Chains A and B, each alone.
Chain A
Amino acid sequence: DAGVIQSPRHEVTEMGQEVTLRCKPISGHNSLFWYRQTMMRGLELLIYFNNNVPIDDSGMPEDRFSAKMPNASFSTLKIQPSEPRDSAVYFCASSDTGELFFGEGSRLTVL
């Protein structure tokens, strides 16, 4: 079975550019999560959706970050404009019964 699929796996961009990270959850899962991994803070929850509706976005660091889930099989996390401090690994995870299933992550480097 396909797991959670994230793209791109690696992204290198310059400060000020727009970055879009994509996630396809496991079919049938009704919850989707975006996490950011940094050395300082570990895995931070940015936002999560339930049945495509954003439930809690209190972890989104600032207005430069936005996330959407237009349908049950697709979500995006957008950073505009990007800054060097946004460099991190961004994980998407999905769930149906509580246990989270993680994608392989998108490593973002902002120069």
Chain B
Amino acid sequence: ILNVEQSPQSLHVQEGDSTNFTCSFPSSNFYALHWYRWETAKSPEALFVMTLNGDEKKKGRISATLNTKEGYSYLYIKGSQPEDSATYLCAPSSGGYQKVTFGTGTKLQVIP
């Protein structure tokens, strides 16, 4: 079982602030790293799936980087908006690539 750690557990930011979260995972037997956005009362939705060391992906104001050698990924949100309020989940997969194990997430609250 992959030991996935996300930090911080929660944070509050003002609208317009930029923020970032960290996901750390064991670097051995790594296959891919997923980021998901989970709004209250909804289902998780994929943001990014990254596989290569040094990968950087961007979707609008949200971007992510991956370091597979040291076992971490960062998620950045530029100019946070209230609609960004959600829990952001990191999920590495290993071995047979489909075993996707979720961290406990970072809960973001953007204050208008």
Chains A and B bind each other: yes
- Chain A contact residues, CB within 8 Å of chain B: 31, 33, 35, 41-45, 48, 50, 55-56, 58, 91, 95, 97-105
**27 A-B pairs (CB sep. < 8 Å):** A31-B98, A35-B102, A42-B89, A42-B104, A43-B44, A45-B100, A48-B99, A55-B98, A55-B99, A56-B96, A56-B99, A58-B1, A91-B44, A97-B49, A98-B32, A98-B49, A98-B93, A98-B97, A98-B98, A99-B46, A100-B36, A100-B44, A100-B46, A100-B100, A102-B43, A104-B42, A104-B43
B49 & A42 in contact (Cβ 8 Å cutoff): no
- Chain B contact residues, CB within 8 Å of chain A: 1, 32, 34, 36, 42-46, 49, 89, 93, 96-105
Chief secondary structure at chain B's binding surface: loop
Give Cα distance in the complex from A27 to B87, angstroms: 28
B7 to chain A, nearest CB (A): 14
Q: Which residues of B contact A42 (CB under 8 A)?
A: 89, 102-105
Give Cα distance in the complex from A43 to B36, angstroms: 12
B4 to chain A, nearest CB (A): 10
Contact of B98 among A43, A95, A104 (CB under 8 A): A95
